[in-house]
Amino acid sequence: MVLFGEASLSEKQVGSNRTYEYLSLGEMSLGCRVSSGICLQCRGVRGLCGKSRCPVLVRIESIFKHRDLICREHIDGSTPPALFVGRVGYPKVYVGPMIPPYHGDTEILDTPEFWTGRSILDIVDYRYSLVRGKVRFGVEETQNPPRLLQDFQELAMAGRPAEAEATFSKRPRGLIILDEYVQPFGPSALLKKFIAPNISVDSRIERAFYDTDMKASEAISSLYDAGVLVTRIQRAFSLGMFGTHSRRRLVPTRWAITAVDTSISSRIIEEIKNYPEIDEYYVYTFKNIGNLYAAIFIPESWSFEWIEAWYPRTFWNYDGSTPELMGDYENYGGRSSYAAVGGCYYAARLAVAESLKGMRRQASCLVLREIHPDYILPVGVWNVRESVRAMLKTEPVKFDALHKAISHTLKFLTVPLKDWMRASVTLKIYHQQRKIIQYIGSTPSPVKEER
């Protein structure tokens, strides 16, 4: 094992709040995005970040498991299928397949719907066994795609793992990027040649692809209703495969994930607004890979709020002394702007909308997330969507009053009520504001006439 502190440092670049180091690790170069202070002091062995495992070393160890197979100029294996569209350089972006160095049923490597309950080490291994090839395209080239882009689009329609071969311009090199919104992936290199000769396409995605008169939102909805996994819809959408011909574009994977979550949940929300309200307070709780989730469903008309609490020594609160909270809210009328908290908001909203649709009810929904240091590295927005989905499939604890629901929730969470109250619109509305109906008793007695 090669330790972070023993690697030689070179090609130093300083970003706005991170330092980039290229580490010479045996025969491969591995780029790491690390803290400019604490990580260089710790070098993976002193535990200064307070995490149970060093996130940089976890990724390096995972890559080293496959190093002899993935650090080559040629690779063949069964792609899950997996494709990635970058956003750097937009409107000219890097697009390419991701291939593991082995054959067989590899679907789990790029299907987050199967990952709930898996350890974070398992997930890192899945992602770092995939080698990414890169070719640069303009986002509008989907309207008259060159042959290689057509091959990528055909791969995005695959219904099961496909045998593939890739030849790179040089040995793949990895850049460890800690990003809450995109899944991690293994090393990458410019692609010289790609072959996937026997792709079995999903006819549902194929029909949407060839219907150039159908709007993208309609294609997304029809595929979701047909039972296509959200991850697969996002993949095809990012390859510019939906919408009327003149409006098709490549969409960076990060943006495509949120766009699909938003589109599906918006449609479901309009449907659940026609349903009656729940008649009790529902409380759900769930724990997954260093995250605590809780949801309170309030018997009122639709609204939604998502709040995250990042503990000290987590990635977005490294140097803090107390948990940092942020969130966003929408009332019955919905949002007019993008949620400041990002894609996690829409991922959680989709899971909540699905749950209410299954009940044929509506509610005012508050979803809380605590991120603890055991969450050693960000693994992607899917973690929120699938964790909230799993939580809402459990049996809720029901109460007849909001204060009882809150009290039960706080037995599971660790952030005190005063902090949630400060951050939450929902709690302010329903915990502090008395409604006018509460001032109305029985029918008043008639006023006696003065004599």
pLDDT at residue 36 in the model: 43
pLDDT at residue 52 in the model: 60
pLDDT at residue 378 in the model: 83
3-state secondary structure the chain: CCCHHHCEEEEEEECCCCEEEEEEECCEEEEEEECCCHHHHHCCCCCCCCCCCCHHHHHHHHHHHHHHHHCCCEEEEEECCCEEECCCCCCEEEEEEEECCCCCCCHHHHCHHHCCCCCHHHHHHHHHCCEEEEEEEEHHHHHCCCHHHHHHHHHHCECCCEEEEEEECCCCEEEECCCCCCCCCCCEEEEEEEECCCCCECHHHHHHHHCCCCCHHHHHHHHHHCCCCHHHHHHHHHCCCCCCHHHCCCCCHHHHHHHHHHHHHHHHHHHHCCCCECCCEEEEEEEECCEEEEEEEECCCCEEEEEEEECCCCCCCCCCCCCEEEEEEEECCECCCCCCCCHHHHHHHHHHHHHHHHHCCECEEEEEEEECCCCCCCCCCHHHHHHHHHHHCCCCEEECCHHHHHHHHHHHCCCCHHHHHHHCHHHHHHHHCCCHHHHCCCCCCCCCCCC
pTM: 0.84
pLDDT at residue 19 in the model: 36
pLDDT at residue 3 in the model: 27
pLDDT at residue 345 in the model: 98
pLDDT at residue 61 in the model: 62
pLDDT at residue 404 in the model: 94
pLDDT in single tens digits along all 451 residues of the chain: 222 222 222 333 333 333 333 333 333 444 444 444 566 556 455 565 666 666 666 665 656 666 655 678 999 999 999 999 999 999 999 999 999 999 999 999 999 999 999 998 898 889 888 999 999 999 999 999 999 999 999 999 999 999 999 999 998 876 555 455 556 677 889 999 999 999 999 999 999 999 999 999 999 999 999 999 999 999 999 999 999 999 999 999 999 999 999 999 999 999 999 999 999 999 999 999 999 999 999 999 999 999 999 999 887 887 889 999 999 999 999 999 999 999 999 999 999 999 999 999 999 999 999 999 999 888 889 999 999 999 999 999 999 999 999 999 999 999 999 999 999 999 999 876 655 445 444 444 443 333 3
pLDDT at residue 81 in the model: 97
pLDDT digits (tens, 9 = 90+) for 129-187: 899 999 999 999 999 999 999 999 999 999 999 999 999 999 887 655 545 555 667 78
Provide the residue type at 92 as one letter: K
